[in-house]
Every structure is written in C-alpha cells, then in structure tokens.
Structure 1
Amino acid sequence: MALLLYFGKTFGMSSNLETMCSIAGAGKFINFFKFNWRESTWNLVVVLGAIIGGFIAKYILSNDTIMDINPKTVQELNQLGFNKVGETIVPNEIFGFEAMTSTHGIIILIVGGLLVGFGTRYAGGCTSGHAILGLSSLQKQSLIAVIGFFIGGLIMTNFILPYII
C-alpha cells in the first residue's frame, strides 16, 4: 500500500474492469473509457491474483468439513428455501449453475451487475479500492463510501434478499 500511495496509483477491482473495457475498445463508444490503458496494465495482476487465489482456496486449501452454523440461522435459511446449509461455502440455490442460468438468475445477474456498476461509478470506486487503499490513506470519502457499502449490504441481506430468493 505504501508503494501504491507513493507512486499515486489506484487499487481496486473496478479500476481493472475499467482497464479491461478500454482494452476491449469501449473507448470507441463511451468517452469514459478513452484513456491510455497501457499505464494501468500493471493493475491487472490483481485480477490474475484473485483468480489464482480463488482456485487455490477452492481446490487446494478447502476440505469437505461441514461448517458449524448456529441452529437458528440454519432454521431461518431453511425457511427461505436453502437446503444443505453449511455443506457448501456458498448456497447452490443462488450460485449453482442451474440457478444462474435460469431466467430468474439471469435477470438477477443483469440487474445486480448494472447496480454494482452504477454504484461503483457513483462512489468513485469499489469496495476493495475504498476499504483497502482509501481507508489506509485516510480519505474521508472512502470512509463514507465504506459505511454506505455496509449499510447497503445490511439492507439488502435483511430486507430485499428474502423477497428475491
């Protein structure tokens, strides 16, 4: 982080998505993506690291141990329609191939993607950028953004998600 701050570089997944869109030619259609993407290619290592890290976590570091979850939480999740709670890291009812390729799943992915993209642009960065780089450099706007991310997550989890599932 100290080196990123010293050299005035940004860090976060949304910066990488912006760079990838520019590489793909989005700058021909949208002025936002018209920039010298070659200056940001170093940051694509973050994407590669996330992919490699996810692979290592899933296929090398994980085991088949069932997670010990509070029985009340299991009961609440069962009422929402989740089966085999704690047997997988993420619920197959949301993240399984069948769920994501259904009409309902595709609509959720598209709407969710648009909302995340809008929110990231509106907040001037993503959760990783604000929470890691922004907070470490004591940026007030990052503190406000991170508080907003947490409030939004709590609202989504407790009030909106039960109606979507």
Structure 2
Amino acid sequence: MHEYVSAFLGGTLLGVAVVGYLYINGKIAGISGLIGQLFNGTGLFQRPATWFLLGLFVTPFIYGLFITPKIEISASPITMIIAGVLVGFGTRLGSGCTSGHGICGMSRLSKRSIVATSLFMFSGFVTVYIMRHLLGN
C-alpha cells in the first residue's frame, strides 16, 4: 500500500474514532484524559475509556498479523525513558496530551489547543534539531 494511502486511511479512522467517542460518550478522546477516566466511577470494563484504550493497544498487533511494519528505534533505552518522563511532564503541564489538544481540540477550533499544539510541535522541532545537529545523536 502506498504510504500516502495508509496515512490517509489511518487519519480517517482516527478522525472517525474520535468523533464517534465524542458523539457517543460526550467526552474528548485524548489519551491522558482517557487514562484518567480509568480511575473514576464504575467497574473497569464498564467504562468506555477502557475499551477505547484497549483498542489502541490491541490494533497494532492485529495489523502486524497482515503487514509487517518496518520499525527502527535507534535511541538507547535511557533516552527513551527520559523522553517518556518529559512527555508525561509536558502532558501535565499543558493540561492535556497531543491527542487531546492536537486532534480533538484543534478540530473544535479551541484556541487553547491550537496554542498548545503549536508549542508541542515547536518543542519537538527544537529537540530534534538539538539531538541530531548539536549533540550528534
């Protein structure tokens, strides 16, 4: 499958899932918010957030049964851990994650989400530049 077609299909499916979740549950499908919903209310498997997150976790394995993705990770485990901690810190600091602000918030034309997503992207650009050009990783 051509890379643009798979990107288009992935984006379309993501959009449908996010709009469907909002329409059916009345809540934003940002990952940090969904994880927060796991710890509120009724039984774990009675929460829509559980099923949405389970789908996000299981789908790549199903995809892998049909298509073998080519994934290369050249970063060291310690770099990956530091990156994960920084992303978690940024999620708390920004009152939401890239999926909540970038997909759900921007599609609703939320000014706060547009600013947050712009800052996420700018920070990512600067980080990649520093890591690849100044530190030589």
Alignment-derived partner of residue 15 in structure 2 = none
Q: For 1:7 and 1:19, locate their aligned partners in 2 and report how far apart those are by CA, in whole Å.
A: 12
Q: 1:53 to 1:7 in 2, by over 3 A?
A: closer
- Answer with 1 or 2: which has the greater Rg: 1
Q: For 2:74 and 2:20, locate their aligned partners in 1 and report how far apart those are by CA, in whole Å.
A: 41
Alignment-derived partner of residue 61 in structure 1 = 67
Which of 113, 119, 132 lines up with 2:84 in the alignment?
A: 113
Q: 1:52 to 1:3 in 2, by over 3 A?
A: closer
Q: For 2:22 and 2:83, locate their aligned partners in 1 and report how far apart those are by CA, in whole Å.
A: 30
Tell me, yes or no, if structure 1 residue 10 matches structure 2 residue 35.
no
Specify the code of the residue in structure 1 equivalent to 2:81.
I
TM-score when normalising by structure 1 = 0.58
Alignment-derived partner of residue 137 in structure 1 = 108
Counterpart secondary structure, 1:38: coil
Q: 1:164 to 1:122 in 2, by over 3 A?
A: farther
Counterpart secondary structure, 1:11: coil
Tell me, yes or no, if structure 1 residue 49 matches structure 2 residue 30.
no
Alpha-carbon displacement from aligned partner over 1:119-146 (angstroms, at most 9, x marks no partner): 0011111111112211121111111111
Give me the CA root mean square deviation: 2.8
Q: 1:7 to 1:121 in 2, by over 3 A?
A: same
Alpha-carbon displacement from aligned partner over 1:74-121 (angstroms, at most 9, x marks no partner): xxxxxxxxxxxxxxx322433xxxx5xxxxx1x323322221111001
Tell me, yes or no, if structure 1 residue 38 matches structure 2 residue 48.
no
Q: 1:113 to 1:19 in 2, by over 3 A?
A: farther
Counterpart secondary structure, 1:93: coil
Structure 2: any 5+ residue segments left out of the alignment? 1-18
Q: 8 Å contact 1:134–1:143 — kept in the other structure?
A: yes
Alignment-derived partner of residue 32 in structure 1 = none
